Amino acid sequence: AQGLMNGKRGLIMGLANNRSIAWGIAKALGSQGAELAFSYQGEALKRRVEPLAAELGSNFLVECDVADDAAVDKTFAEIESRWGKLDFLVHAIGFSNKEELEGRYIDTSAENFALTMNISVYSFTAVAKRAEKLMSPGGSLLTLTYYGSDKYVPNYNVMGVAKAALEASVRYLAVDMGKNGIRVNAISAGAIKTLAASGISGLRDMLHWQEANAPLRRNVSIDDVGGSALYLLSDLASGVTGEIHYVDAGYNIVGMKLLDAEAA
Ligand code: NAD
């Protein structure tokens, strides 16, 4: 394939199935000539990830539960031995117990707070540290966040607090890694019906609300996110780091409900 990502090799973390945001991103990168490796969470997901990777010409799969430091070390050791370098990394991983993605934020348990922060926030810093050793100037990292970091969204709860911390870590990592010419950004995606999002109570209402109130009057797809990810991970975005880039059909810029305004 010819394209923007020719000669670049990258790791995609967080592919679960063909509805995953990671899949939208991987397809966009693959279509532009990137060579891809995939890490998956557990044996059960391997069966789903393998054929998807094969569609993009990859047989480079590594099992990696990011809660396990040794597994994270092993993942990067495998990349080093097979590729010797890394040009980009996509972190599309988040987790919180479903029981706490409904009701009141105030009821969050200490245990799930720590778990959510570890998987959804710290893991990005943990992989950035290992990726840095394999990257040269021009390297690019990307994570996924959501508007519930910035504003209250019903039921998003501890995940919103985690995404706020993730966005702050993007800025700190951008400065740390910027010295070596490596860029770190996040895409803040509008709500999309994926496996992880299905754990959030009231997802259907969120999707309807967004569709009615976004400037583009629609929800976004994993391919919308893939296009923006391709730009941020490619050299086209060589001057962009530390950014939280919204891919949400414009929803975040609206200060007054269109529903009411248009009915009036
Ligand atoms: P998804 O369920 O397809 O992907 C989530 C991934 O996280 C899965 O592949 C899962 O295996 C992985 N994961 C969870 N715990 C893990 C662990 N301990 N170790 C390794 N991997 C682990 O759902 P998605 O919506 O594509 O989620 C990808 C990212 O996008 C998440 O960070 C999510 O918060 C973010 N995001 C999603 C939406 C949305 O509406 N779907 C909106 C904005 C941001």
Give dist(CA 161, CA 149) in Å, integer. Answer: 6
Q: pLDDT at position 263, please?
A: 65
pLDDT band at 257 (very low <50, low <70, confident <90, very high): confident
Distance 145 CA to ligand 1 centre (A): 10
> Residue 262 — pLDDT band, cuts 50, 70, 90?
confident
- Atom 28 (ligand 1): residue with closest C-alpha? 92
Q: Are 135 and 87 in contact (CB under 8 A)?
A: yes
Share the mean pLDDT of the chain: 96
Q: Domains along the chain?
A: 9-263 (3.40.50.720)
- The pLDDT assigned to 1 comes to 47
Q: Catalytic: 146?
A: yes
Residue 256 confidence (pLDDT): 85
- Is the C-beta atom of 259 inside 6 A of ligand 1? no
Give the number of the atom of ligand 1 that is nearest the alpha carbon of residue 147.
43
Whole-number pLDDT of residue 74: 98
Per-residue pLDDT at 260: 66
| Residue 166 and residue 149 in contact, taking contact as beta carbons nearer than 8 Å | yes
Tell me the C-alpha to C-alpha distance, in Å, between residue 134 and each of 87, 98, 128: 8, 35, 10
pLDDT band at 184 (very low <50, low <70, confident <90, very high): very high
What distance lies between CA 85 and its chain's CA centroid? Answer: 21
Ligand 1, atom 40: closest residue by C-alpha: 191
pLDDT of residue 61 exceeding 60, the answer is: yes
Q: Which of 40, 147, 156, 251 is catalytic?
A: 156
14 lines ligand 1 (CB under 6 A): yes
Task: Report whether 195 belongs to an annotated binding site.
Answer: yes
Q: What is the pLDDT of residue 183?
A: 99
C-alpha–C-alpha distance, residues 81 and 177, integer Å:
23
**Distance from residue 21's CA to the centre of ligand 1 (Å):** 8
Q: Give, using CA atoms, the residue closest to atom 41 of ligand 1.
A: 192
Q: What is the mean pLDDT of residues 20-45?
A: 97
100 vs 238: CA distance, rounded Å: 39
CA 241 from centre of chain: 16
Q: Which of 146, 147, 246, 251 is catalytic?
A: 146
Is 65 assigned a ligand-binding role in the annotation? yes
pLDDT at 118 over 60: yes
Q: Could you report the per-residue pLDDT of 47-60, keeping only the tens digit for each?
A: 999 999 999 999 99
Name the band, by pLDDT with cuts 50, 70 and 90, for residue 247.
very high
**Taking a C-beta distance cutoff of 8 angstroms, is the pair 52, 23 a contact?**
yes
Q: Which atom of ligand 1 is nearest to the CA of 191?
A: 40
Contacts of 24 (CB under 8 A, 6+ apart): 221, 222, 223, 224, 225, 226, 229
Q: Where are the beta strands (DSSP E) in the chain?
A: 9-13, 35-40, 61-63, 88-91, 140-145, 183-189, 244-247
- The question of ipTM being above 0.95 is answered as yes
Q: Is the CB of 189 under 6 A from ligand 1?
A: yes
**CA–CA gap between residue 71 and residue 76 (Å, rounded):** 9
Q: Is the pLDDT of residue 235 over 70?
A: yes
Q: 3-state DSSP call for residue 37?
A: strand
Ligand 1: nearest atom to the Cα of 119: 18
Q: Is 147 a catalytic residue?
A: no
Task: Say how far residue 211 (Cα) sits from the centre of its chain.
Answer: 21
